[in-house]
Amino acid sequence: MEPGDLRVSPAGSGDPEVGELREETPGADAEVKGGEPNDKEINGDTAETVLKEKDTCEGEECTEKEKNEGELHSPYEEELDPRIQEELEHLNEASVKINQLELHLDDARSGYRKILTDSARKLNAHSSQLGTCIEKARPYYEARRLAKEAQQETQKAALSYERAVSMHTAAREMVYVAEQGLMADGRNTLDPTWQEMLNHATSKVNEAEEERLRSEREHMRVTHSCQTAEARVQTLQKSLKRAIVKSKPYFELKAQFNYILEVHRYIIYSAFGKYSDPLTFSTFCYITAVF
């Protein structure tokens, strides 16, 4: 056969079909398959890549979650803030103190009730023994109590009057200083500063004068009341002399019990913070005690 002739291959021989004018080149199909992958291979590679990336992300998230859980459960994070710890300690100390005060309060109340019961029992026994002289002498001891209260009021009024006099004197001195300042200026026009000071000092003098007069009137009133109360005591002492002497043990015992009860009452009140000044306690007992 000469070059250029074409031969028809029988069917199934594996040769090119009729009409195909191409020359078979070994390895051509392999090159095509190797350079251009089909859809199945592409989809397979993509799925595998996605799975790997998903596994990697899940691994990173799991690692981050474990790390966060480890930090949350770290012994260093479980320690309290020092400020919170300090406040908790203060709270515990306050709770202990409250419990102690409650115990003291209960003891004081129990003691108060016991003394009150004992005093009532003993006073009733004395009253049965002494008879009617107690009721006869009672106005005298009541007058003595009122006289002592009047004395206390007189002392307070005297202190108030002395304080008002001192304020009045100080205000007058301020007026004198302001007047001297105005005179020493040497100018025809008044200095506004000295003028304002003089007006202020004059106002203080007027206020102090009013307070002094009011305190003086109050002192005179309570002094008169005190004198009247003392005069009544003297009158009753003369008219009820026998009853007073006979009932003296009863009223002395009553005065002692009253003082003891007031002491326990003060202890109870102090637990509630009603009395904080020791002077208040002494005045409280002095006024309320019956002598």
| Residue 171 phi, psi (nearest 5) | -65, -40
Q: Any idea which architecture 109-288 has in CATH?
A: Orthogonal Bundle (1.10)
Query: What is the rounded distance in angstroms from the CA atom of residue 249 to the CA atom of residue 134?
Result: 10
According to DSSP, residue 12 is labeled T
- Given a cut of 90, whether residue 4 has pLDDT beyond it is no
Residue type (1 letter), 281: F
Query: Which tokens go with 144?
Result: 């003595």
According to DSSP, residue 274 is labeled S
- Given a cut of 60, whether residue 288 has pLDDT beyond it is no
- pLDDT-based confidence at residue 24 (cuts at 50, 70, 90): very low
- Given a cut of 60, whether residue 258 has pLDDT beyond it is yes
Residues in the chain: 291
- pLDDT-based confidence at residue 34 (cuts at 50, 70, 90): very low
Say how many C-beta atoms besides its own lie within 10 A of residue 42's C-beta. 10
The pLDDT score that the predictor gives to residue 68 is: 52
Residue with tokens 């003082």: 259
**What whole-number percentage of the chain has pLDDT above 70?**
63
Most confident of 3-7, 16-20, 99-103, 283-287: 99-103
CB 285 within 8 A of CB 263: yes
The pLDDT score that the predictor gives to residue 81 is: 79
Question: pTM of the prediction?
Answer: 0.53
The C-alpha angle 221, 226, 231, rounded to 5 degrees, equals 125
Query: What is the rounded distance in angstroms from the CA atom of residue 144 to the CA atom of residue 280?
Result: 22
CB 291 within 8 A of CB 146: no
| Residue 289 phi, psi (nearest 5) | -70, 140
